[in-house]
Amino acid sequence: MNVIIVSGSLGSGKTIALNGYQFAGALAVLSLVVALLVAGIQGAVVRFGIGQAASDGHAAASAGDGQAVLRESIDMMATRLGEMQARLLRLDTLGERLARSAGFKSQEFMFDQVPGRGGAIPGPGAAIPRELSVGELGQKLDLLSRQVDDRAERLGIIESIVSMDFARRSFVPSGLPVAAGQFSSNFGWRIDPFTGRNTFHDGVDFFAEPGTPIVAAASGVVAVAEFHSQYGNMVEIDHGNDLVTRYAHASLVHVRVGDVVRRGHRIADVGSTGRSTGPHLHFEVRHRGLAQNPSRFLKTTG
């Protein structure tokens, strides 16, 4: 077989003579080259398509993962914010209780209002403001949460101390036993109205109309509720720590032995029973059995 090759550079044709075996071999080589070329092109196309799809898939997956992480972070911070709001509400309630216990007025501590704050003043040398990242915001929320917990614990301790102090003070006879009464006789040496002699008066007297309520000067337990030849209808209240108050000359007694009474509780009515010249309340404070001057305990005396 003759193969004629025409070349413009040679200016003439060139003839190559091939026998059957040589032609078959050349055709096989050409077919193999074409097959490899096609396979290479197809492989490149497939690889490009897979790479592009993978790249698009990775980008989409990365974007989706980023959104999911951001949403999860926001949800966690929203949960923490809700917890802190609940803690702040408890702190406000606790602060109001403490303010009332300490005798402050509600307008002096406005727990339901956000305190005023000032902003940064721009100018030369001022720091350039920047946005907080999600991570930095989470750190600040964690720090604020720990600070809120610390303040709550401290306020709880203060409330316990205030409550204990209030409880102790409630058992000290500092309240007037007769609200509508006038101070009529001091504690100490005085002229006895029956004998005219100088005798020691163990308490103080409050002049009041018959039937005027007699109230407990402090919280405690009724230890005595009986008639006494000298004191008439008498009530004694044990306040603990060897401290006892006595209420004498009552017209009527409203409590019994063993009753638990609070400061201001009505225990009897003013009268003139026993050794008395007229309706009044004889009030005593005794510590370990010894008479004490009630003026040292009472908020107000005549």
pLDDT at 36: 45
- Over residues 51-71, the mean pLDDT reads 61
Kind and range of the H or E run holding 160? helix 134-170
Q: CA-to-CA distance for 50 and 53, rounded, in angstroms? A: 5
pLDDT at 87: 74
**pLDDT, mean over the chain:** 75
Is pLDDT at 268 greater than 90 in this prediction?
yes
Q: CA-to-CA distance for 186 and 112, rounded, in angstroms? A: 49
Categorize the per-residue pLDDT at 262 as very low, low, confident or very high, splitting at 50, 70 and 90. Answer: very high
Q: CA-to-CA distance for 181 and 171, rounded, in angstroms? A: 22
Lowest mean pLDDT among 92-101, 119-128, 220-229: 119-128
What Rg value do the Cα atoms of the chain yield, rounded?
50
- Kindly state the tokens that stand for 101: 């216990």
Bridge partners, residue 215, by sequence: 266
* pLDDT tens per residue across span 220-257: 999 999 999 999 999 999 998 899 999 999 999 999 99
Q: CA-to-CA distance for 231 and 72, rounded, in angstroms? A: 78
pLDDT at 64: 66
Is pLDDT at 33 greater than 60 in this prediction?
no
Q: CA-to-CA distance for 30 and 196, rounded, in angstroms? A: 153
Is pLDDT at 297 greater than 60 in this prediction?
yes
Residues 6+ apart with CB under 8 A from 148: 84, 87, 88, 91
Is pLDDT at 121 greater than 70 in this prediction?
no
Helices 20-101 and 134-170: crossing angle in degrees, nearest 10, is 20
Is pLDDT at 1 greater than 90 in this prediction?
no
Q: Rounded to a whole number, what is the distance in angstroms from the first to the last CA of the chain? A: 149
* pLDDT tens per residue across span 145-190: 777 777 777 777 766 767 666 666 778 898 899 987 788 888 988 8
CA max distance for the chain: 170
**DSSP string for 171-202:** TS--S-S-TT-EEEE-SEEEE-TTT-SEEEE-
Categorize the per-residue pLDDT at 88 as very low, low, confident or very high, splitting at 50, 70 and 90. Answer: confident
User: Does residue 60 or residue 145 have the better pLDDT?
Assistant: 145
- Over residues 119-123, the mean pLDDT reads 62
Q: CA-to-CA distance for 151 and 289, rounded, in angstroms? A: 45
User: Structure pTM?
Assistant: 0.51
Nearest to 248 by CA among 232, 263, 226, 269: 232
Q: CA-to-CA distance for 167 and 204, rounded, in angstroms? A: 26
